[in-house]
């Protein structure tokens, strides 16, 4: 549009200038013509009245004078006639211009003295008047009086204004015609062919049509089309070859890796790229508070930890809320960018939310409502009608953003978590051909608990727009099946683990999420050990037994209970004072919510109290590092730790437990793991605890510290094997395999 304006604007300016000049000339000519007409008319009338006026004055015939001036009263427009004697005294005047007598008329003097006609424009009240004054002489050529004819000239200006109006209307019509013609030409020679070429490219490279490109032009556009044709052909061939090779490689049974997942995606999804949706974006751009420069970071989030390697492996598009304060600077016109920012492997599309939307949908409904509802941690869920309205609005916003990205046929959409329960139905209604999966990263409670939510009907109905819903463990699947069975009209198939609602089936399955056990090892052992030793020196941990916690600050993670257990541990086993140090890495999270804000204060206070209680000049029991760490920064802490504590009061899976195990390639160290995490179902060799039991927790710390090296190694080896075999690539691979199988079944 901007380019058309650049082209159109000079033409329109030239046309407007020409028309204005033409208009000015036209008006001037017309004005002169009208004034000339008036002059002639006045002259002729004056000459015809001159003789009779001569007699009237000579005979002092007042009646005849009256008749004469009255005859003007009947004439069109405002006209009149005035008879004067030779001294300028009014003898008779037409009634409708009676007030004209009062006007000071210096020019009458001139008429008498010079014996000449005086004609010109005069002001009378608000009117413009044309006056024509002629001397009346007797037979001896002596001036005996004056006849003045008066004409209202306002009709002249009315005529001129009409002329201007006509010129303007003609100009507007011409401008409009020029715009329409230019737009039509532009559409015909550019928009239509380019649109056709784009559609053709889209279908041809995917192998959906075999026609030649549709551009008939032999000029520059034709050349461009021919280049596009070559690219489309190469792409089509490459896709086919890659998918074939991938299929062949998949047959080999080997450990799940990035490459194997990529092969699976290519072989199973083929041309259909993967679309992932989550609230949290995998990479955010933020302004550095000190330098003011924009930099990118990876948020502390289990969902991001799990899905980023999957998307890196198989490409696709990830749609998420753009929440970084410098995010807008780094997207293209479609709000997209290639990520990771230093090695573009897939596309991130950012969706913008207003503060009000974020407040209601994210902080309010999702995190003050659904999050505590699904975690049994005795924090009361809050449901506000205005939050629910925002939640619906934002789900629709995401649906619109995704729908405009989906390809023409059979797309795969993989939705993450409790932020988007309404999204599956919204997408399915517009695109019934889309295969949709939702993965629920947090626990699912029993029907009684879930029915507390005033909107449970809408939420369940929205979720059942999916073809597949995944949870971490079977227990959460069972809870969900029971919830649907009890709370909404549906049929639960306990053999297939599926729910049928309004003739549509949704399969419910467990897919235990995991970590990337392949790429996390990319950094050389040597540099990792160096980093770990540097931390040991900086934090004065030499000769100390090191415990570690890595968390987002959240009430579900059991941080308060952990500090209480550490306190109890030193109380019960004082021999460890000065010998054991617990390092806690903690990323502030959802700090706008009061419960989270208060929790931060509570933890600060409790740690300070515990440190004050036990520390001496050379030692303090807890080192609290409250900030966000990058995955590369966290890894050396895992290396360094003798034991790691995961004390969640309730957790869907918990990736920290798996990250710790995955990092321990020297088989050293032990894991204390809450029984209420999904991970506890897989990592049976961890020291499992009930974090609510402070005694049991403190004893577990002692057990972890005193566990013989061989026992540590035996347990760690088993846990490592489990995590390695069931890494995040297997998790994603299983979901994709299940989805494609469902799609085939439907077909």
Site for ligand ADQ, rule CB under 6 A: 300-303, 305-306, 441-442, 513, 550-552, 585-587, 628-629, 634, 651-656, 659
Q: Which is nearer to ligand ADQ, 434 or 550 (CB)?
A: 550
- What minimum distance in Å lies between the beta carbon of 189 and ligand ADQ? 53
Residue (438 or 653) nearer to ligand ADQ, CB:
653
For the bound state, the minimum distance from the C-beta of residue 503 to ligand ADQ, rounded and expressed in Å, comes to: 31
Minimum distance, C-beta of residue 540 to ligand ADQ, in the bound complex (Å): 21
Q: Whose Cβ is closer to ligand ADQ: residue 464's or residue 634's?
A: 634
For the bound state, the minimum distance from the C-beta of residue 581 to ligand ADQ, rounded and expressed in Å, comes to 18
CA distance 547 to 540: 14
Shortest Cβ 410–ligand ADQ spacing (Å): 27
State the minimum distance, in angstroms, from the CB of residue 552 to ligand ADQ: 5
Residue 371 Cβ, how far from ligand ADQ at the closest point, in Å? Answer: 9
Nearest to 393 by CA among 437, 417, 367, 423: 423
What stretch of H or E contains 130?
strand 127-137
Taking the complex as a whole, how short is the minimal distance between the CB of residue 627 and ligand ADQ, in angstroms? 7
Q: Give the distance from CA 399 to its chain's centroid.
A: 12
Find where tokens 């209480």 sit: 564
Contact residues for 335 (Cβ-Cβ < 8 A; gap 6+): 322, 349, 350, 351, 352
Give the residue closest to ligand ADQ by C-beta.
302
Please identify, using beta-carbon distances, which residue of 78 and 300 lies nearer to ligand ADQ.
300
Q: Which is nearer to ligand ADQ, 75 or 521 (CB)?
A: 521
CA quadruple 710, 711, 713, 714: dihedral, nearest 10: 110
CB closer to ligand ADQ out of 281 and 651: 651
**Closest to ligand ADQ by CB, 263 or 554:** 554
- CB count within 10 Å of CB 51 equals 10
- Residue closer to ligand ADQ by CB (options 135, 652) is 652
Do residues 22 and 201 lie in contact, with contact meaning Cβ atoms separated by under 8 Å?
A: no
CB of 419 to ligand ADQ, least distance (A): 12
Q: DSSP letters along 160-216, please?
A: HHHHHHHHHHHHHHHHHHHHHHHHHHHIIIIIHHHHHHHHHHHHHHTTS--PPP---
| CA neighbor of 632 nearest in space, from 481, 516, 493 | 516
Distance CA 42, CA 36 (A): 10
- Residue 78: helix, strand or coil by DSSP? coil
Q: How far is the CB of 659 from ligand ADQ (least distance, A)?
A: 5
Buried b (16+ CB within 10 A) or exposed e, 55-87: ebbeeeeeebbbebbeebeeeeebbbbbbbbbe
CB nearer ligand ADQ, residue 301 or residue 734: 301
| DSSP state letter for 327 | G
Instruction: Kindly tell me which of 217 and 632 has the beta carbon lying closer to ligand ADQ.
Output: 632
Torsion of CA 243, 470, 657, 378, to 10 degrees: 160
**Least distance to ligand ADQ, CB of residue 294, Å:** 19
Rank residues 56 and 550 by Cβ distance to ligand ADQ and give the closer one: 550
CB hemisphere CA count around 266 (13 angstroms):
22
HSE-up (13 A, CA, CB side) for residue 137: 13
Residue pair 190/220 in contact by the 8 Å Cβ criterion: no
Q: Taking the CB of residue 20, how many other CB atoms lie within 10 A of it?
A: 13
Using DSSP, state whether 626 is helix, strand or coil: strand
């Amino acid at each position: 549009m901007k380019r058309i304006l650049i082209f159109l604007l000079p033409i329109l300016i030239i046309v407007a200038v020409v028309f204005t000049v033409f208009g000015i000339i036209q008006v001037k000519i017309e004005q002169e013509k009208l004034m000339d007409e008036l002059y002639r008319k006045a002259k002729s009338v004056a000459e015809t009245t001159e003789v009779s006026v001569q007699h009237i004055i000579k005979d002092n015939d007042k009646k005849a004078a009256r008749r004469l001036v009255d005859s003007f009263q009947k004439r069109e427009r405002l006209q009149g006639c005035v008879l004067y004697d030779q001294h300028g005294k009014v003898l008779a005047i037409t009634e409708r211009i009676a007030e004209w007598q009062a006007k000071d008329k210096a020019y009458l003097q001139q008429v008498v003295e010079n014996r000449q006609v005086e004609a010109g424009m005069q002001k009378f009240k608000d009117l413009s008047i044309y006056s024509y004054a002629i001397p009346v002489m007797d037979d001896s050529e002596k001036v005996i009086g004056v006849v003045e004819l008066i004409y209202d000239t306002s009709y002249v200006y009315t005529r001129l204004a009409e002329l201007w109006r006509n010129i303007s209307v003609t100009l507007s019509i011409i401008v409009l015609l020029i715009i329409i013609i230019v737009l039509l030409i532009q559409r015909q020679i550019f928009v239509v062919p380019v649109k056709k070429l784009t559609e053709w490219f889209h279908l041809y490279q995917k192998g959906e049509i075999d026609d030649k490109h549709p551009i008939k032009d032999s000029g520059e556009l034709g050349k461009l089309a021919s280049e596009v044709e070559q690219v489309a052909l190469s792409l089509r061939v490459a896709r086919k070859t890659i998918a074939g090779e991938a299929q062949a490689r998949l047959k080999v049974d080997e450990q799940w890796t990035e490459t194997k997942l990529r092969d699976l995606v290519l072989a199973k999804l083929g041309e259909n790229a993967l679309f992932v949706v989550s609230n949290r974006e995998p990479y955010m751009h933020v302004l550095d508070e000190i330098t003011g420069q924009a930099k990118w970071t990876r948020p502390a989030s289990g969902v991001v930890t799990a899905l980023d390697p999957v998307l890196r492996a198989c490409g696709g598009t990830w749609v998420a809320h753009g929440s970084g304060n410098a995010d807008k600077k780094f997207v293209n016109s479609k709000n997209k960018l290639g990520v990771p920012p230093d090695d573009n492997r897939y596309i991130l599309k950012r969706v913008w939310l207003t503060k009000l939307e974020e407040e209601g949908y994210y902080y309010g409904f999702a995190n003050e409502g659904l999050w505590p509802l699904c975690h049994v941690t005795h924090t009361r869920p809050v449901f506000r009608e205005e939050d629910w309205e925002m939640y619906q609005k934002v789900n629709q916003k995401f649906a619109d953003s995704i729908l405009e990205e989906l390809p023409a046929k059979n797309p795969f959409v993989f939705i993450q978590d409790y932020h988007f329960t309404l999204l599956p139905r919204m997408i399915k209604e517009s695109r019934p051909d889309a295969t949709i999966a939702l993965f629920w990263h947090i626990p699912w409670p029993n029907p009684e608990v879930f029915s507390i939510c005033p909107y449970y009907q809408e939420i369940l109905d929205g979720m059942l727009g999916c073809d597949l819903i995944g949870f971490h463990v079977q227990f959460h699947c069972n809870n969900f099946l029971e919830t649907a069975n009890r709370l909404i009209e549906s049929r639960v198939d306990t053999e297939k683990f599926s729910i049928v609602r309004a003739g549509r089936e949704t399969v419910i399955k467990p897919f235990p999420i995991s970590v990337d056990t392949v790429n996390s090892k990319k950094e050389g052992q040597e540099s990792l050990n160096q980093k770990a030793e540097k931390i040991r020196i900086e934090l004065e941990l030499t000769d100390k037994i090191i415990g570690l916690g890595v968390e987002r600050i959240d009430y579900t993670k059991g941080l308060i209970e952990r500090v209480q257990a550490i306190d109890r541990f030193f109380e019960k086993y004082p021999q460890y004072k000065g010998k054991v140090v617990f390092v806690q890495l903690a990323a502030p999270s959802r700090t706008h919510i009061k419960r989270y804000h208060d929790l931060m204060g509570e933890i600060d206070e409790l740690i300070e109290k515990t440190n004050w209680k036990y520390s001496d000049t050379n030692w303090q029991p807890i080192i609290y590092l409250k900030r966000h760490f990058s995955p590369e920064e966290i890894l050396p802490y895992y290396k360094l730790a003798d034991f790691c504590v995961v004390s969640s009061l309730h957790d869907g899976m918990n990736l920290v437990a798996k990250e710790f195990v995955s990092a321990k390639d020297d088989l050293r160290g032990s894991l204390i793991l809450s029984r209420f995490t999904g991970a506890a179902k897989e990592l049976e060799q961890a020291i499992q605890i009930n974090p609510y039991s402070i005694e049991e927790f403190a004893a577990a710390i002692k057990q972890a510290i005193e566990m013989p090296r061989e026992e540590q190694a035996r347990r760690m080896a088993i846990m490592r094997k489990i995590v390695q075999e069931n890494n995040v690539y297997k998790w994603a691979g299983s979901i994709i395999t299940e989805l494609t199988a469902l799609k085939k079944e439907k077909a």
